Amino acid sequence: MNRIKILLSLILTIFYMGSVVVAQFGPIGYDFGDPYIEFNNLRFAVRLSTESNIYCPDKSSVVISTPSPDQIVVSSKVLSSAGGQLTINGYLEMTITKVGNNRMSVSTKGSHPTEIAKTIQVLVKGIDVKSFVSEYHQAKGVNEFVKKDIMVSYPSRSATMPLVFITTPTEEWFVLSKDKELRRKAFACSYDHLTKEPVVLLSHDEDARKRLKYIESPDWIIGSGETRLNVVEERCEDLEKNFNLIPYKEKADIKWIDELKVVSFFHGIHWTGHMFNTYEQIGDQIEWICETVDGKNVLAFLPAWDGRYYGTYPEHKPDERMGGEEGLKKLVERSHKLGAKVVLMLGGPNLSTFKFLKENDMMDAALKGADGYPQVQNWLDWNIDLSIETMGLIMNFGNPKYRDYMINKTSELFDDFDVDGVFLDGALRWDNSPDYSSYEGLIEYTSRLRRKHPSKMLMGEDGYDVIYGLFDMFHTSGGPMGLENFMLRYARQFYYLSYPAENGSAGVHEIGWSNDSPTIINAQPDFTIPTISMLNGIIDTHGETIKKKLIEYKKWRLKETPIMD
């Protein structure tokens, strides 16, 4: 039985961690012919990927120069592909510079005479790779290398910074991109079957909106012998300097978050139509909670407050079965009299239904991959009929019409119902889209709402480094995300949405029963605001257990970590 539970938990973990599929890759099945150059006890090579093929410098045309003892430049005006069987005039250059006792900077550039450049890549040999560390275990950010290919990309759950640590039997290396823009990075390790050693691959993708026949990468910093905290702090400095991220400690208007001791999920209506709570029942339960915990320490989080979960996104109107507009207004008024805050869940980038998009002429607002094809929301079987539900499209907040709709809808909820914040489902959604940047859309969304509603909380699900500072709070699928808990430098968090009620039900969440889910297994209580899930009737059956937890939660204090300073 325990083995079955473990297996189910692993299956849930795979499902739970999202729909992002990492493309299969592996070493090319012949000698590609990369000319490697040795520098500082490592060997380096460079490749140029276009929309049609991939190239390295032609060995017979390579020029090597050493402008100084601490720098080497490798260039070629001839590109080679297919293991040297095909050549064409073009350009590739790689510059490696020693920038400290244990650091090197690697920059690259390249061009093709007719093909559009997509990616430029650095290959590194000489590191005895044991594992890659780019994130927490639960986010698939720790990967052992046993002649098995490893690949993580940024931004994603598995790499929330353009940073990876590489462990070896004797030391730890790191690779950090110094890009001042948000552009895709990929980190990989493959086994070279010809030289019988690991090869580290570092890829920089150009913004799909700006691709030309020329590409140039920002510096890669490759080093060893430094603490992880030191390297993560360096990235944070880059974030604040180049991306204008605001540390949490400087966000004066939402300091009420620091008083929270309890967040309670009040589930509304399941995708199938089952109603867990009405607005009046939620109000009754908030009053019950506040008999034990001071209202100023309580936040009520309402998933599926607007009808069948996922079924009406992004209309976001009070549900009539739950009590309609008047019922929601009364709920907020009751909560505020107690000092408690109310936050509503929005579909965010995660989904808009086909019905809404067609009626509002927004079918072009889908998040597109670099290939230009829209991404469909189709990875859940909500009703266990063993068939996936296809409900709509994943959305790009960079699309002006959709972004403006969401800004206006959010502002309307603040004005009409006086809720204290909103939550964007799937804020992590990003791709190298050829039309609009979802990241730039989130900047516009958050900045415009902050100007008009400075005291309202903005919250997201999951995320990556350059958006953490745009929001005040996140909930993430496995505890605080980020190496060295760096997310806490920019935001606070409570437990993930599938955190179960006392009877084990995850309410409206797709993981219906989650006592054994990663939400519990991977939770980090020291860094996470205590959370409970409430369903109508749960007080009658589990009230004493919940009350004991609430008494303990009153003592909770966020554990400080060095990265927060």
Residue 75 domain flag: yes
Helix (H, G, I), strand (E, B) or coil at 486: helix
Closest CA to 220 of 54, 46, 473, 26: 46
Q: Say yes or no: 252 and 222 in one domain.
A: no
Residue 394 domain flag: no
The secondary structure element, H or E, covering residue 100 is strand 86-100
Q: Say yes or no: 319 and 213 in one domain.
A: no
d(CA 79, CA 239): 36
Residue 221 domain flag: yes
How many C-alpha atoms does 557 have within 13 Å on its Cβ side? 4
Q: Say yes or no: 178 and 255 in one domain.
A: no
Q: Say yes or no: 286 and 140 in one domain.
A: no
pLDDT more than 90, % of the chain: 88
Q: How do residues 162-212 score in pLDDT, each as one tens digit?
A: 999 999 999 999 999 999 999 999 999 999 999 999 999 999 999 999 999
Give pLDDT, residue 23. 61
Domain boundary at 173, 193, 226, which?
226
Give pLDDT, residue 518. 73
Indicate the pLDDT class of residue 87, thresholds 50, 70 and 90: very high
Q: How do residues 251-263 score in pLDDT, each as one tens digit?
A: 988 999 999 999 9
Mean pLDDT throughout 58-83? 97
Domain boundary at 226, 257, 272, which?
226
- Count CB neighbours of 452 within 10 A: 12
- Count CB neighbours of 386 within 10 A: 6
Indicate the pLDDT class of residue 478, thresholds 50, 70 and 90: low
The CATH number assigned to the domain holding 429 equals 3.20.20.80
Q: Say yes or no: 219 and 273 in one domain.
A: no
Q: Say yes or no: 263 and 118 in one domain.
A: no
Looking at the predicted structure, is the pLDDT value of residue 524 above 90? no
Contacts of 450 (CB under 8 A, 6+ apart): 458
What sign does the dihedral 345-349-350-354 (CA atoms) show?
positive
Q: Say yes or no: 311 and 421 in one domain.
A: yes
Pick from 10-19, 88-97, 473-482: least confident:
10-19
Orientation of helix 538-553 relative to helix 279-289, angle to 10°: 40
Q: Say yes or no: 436 and 469 in one domain.
A: yes
- Count CB neighbours of 66 within 10 A: 10
Give pLDDT, residue 191. 94
Q: Say yes or no: 185 and 326 in one domain.
A: no
Residue 129 domain flag: yes
Closest CA to 334 of 319, 345, 347, 323: 323
Give pLDDT, residue 24. 67
Q: Say yes or no: 135 and 255 in one domain.
A: no
Q: Count of domains in the chain?
A: 2
Residue 382 domain flag: no
Q: In what order do the strands lie in the sheet with 421-424?
A: 492-493, 473-475, 457-461, 421-424, 341-346, 298-302, 262-266, 531-534
Q: Say yes or no: 410 and 534 in one domain.
A: yes
Residue 376 domain flag: no
Q: How do residues 527-558 score in pLDDT, each as one tens digit?
A: 999 999 999 999 999 999 999 999 999 999 99
Q: Say yes or no: 149 and 258 in one domain.
A: no
The pair of three-digit structure tokens given for residue 4, joined into one six-digit string: 């079955």
Mean pLDDT throughout 243-258? 93
Indicate the pLDDT class of residue 346, thresholds 50, 70 and 90: very high
Give pLDDT, residue 148. 80
The residue range of the domain holding 341 is: 248-348+400-564
Residue 374 domain flag: no
- Count CB neighbours of 366 within 10 A: 22
What sign does the dihedral 242-244-247-249 (CA atoms) show?
positive
Residue 353 domain flag: no
Domain boundary at 170, 195, 226, which?
226
